[in-house]
Amino acid sequence: MLSQTVEYALRAMMHLAALPTDNAANSETIAERTKVPKGYLSKVMRDLVVAGLIDSRRGPSGGFRLARPARDISMLDVINAVDPLQRITRCPLGNPAHLNLCPLHRRLDDAIATMEREFRRTSLEEILETNTRAAGTCRTLVNPTVRGRS
């Protein structure tokens, strides 16, 4: 239902959210920890920078970090930065007689609206806290200290 790009972006953002405040991670570390191919990660990180969700600094102590606190970044923010959800606003068949969405497409759009609402109300911080309480089910993605510091 969600693209691989969204999955990769969420993994990268969760990794950055788990870092101590103002710490940065380079793309090699993010790729290794999140299992995202380096080449693809570059595109994802560029989109996240353009969207204002992360900052990028060059140099030996550079890397990527969240542009604002994890509590202020929703899953929907991340999704919209890389591959926005597509709502159904008119008949996908192009039928001019369908002035309103048919029952099938109305239900599909309702499902997308529910996903959009849930993603909007879920912050990265909430996911991070839930994961920590759930015995670290994605520990290597969101706890960079598991295998050393980044």
Predicted TM-score of the model (pTM)? 0.83
In this structure, are residues 12 and 41 in contact, taking their beta carbons and an 8 Å threshold? yes
The count of domains in the chain is 1
The CATH code of the domain that includes 85 is: 1.10.10.10
State residue 116's pLDDT score: 97
**Three-state secondary structure call for residue 92:** coil
Cα–Cα distance measured from residue 134 to residue 128, given in angstroms and rounded to the nearest whole number: 10
Determine, yes or no, domain membership for 148: no
Cα–Cα distance measured from residue 56 to residue 61, given in angstroms and rounded to the nearest whole number: 11
Q: Compute mean pLDDT per 10 residues along the chain, 150 residues long, and list them.
A: 94 96 92 96 97 92 94 98 92 75 88 96 94 58 46
Q: Which domain, by its residues, includes 48?
A: 4-142
Determine, yes or no, domain membership for 93: yes
Determine, yes or no, domain membership for 149: no
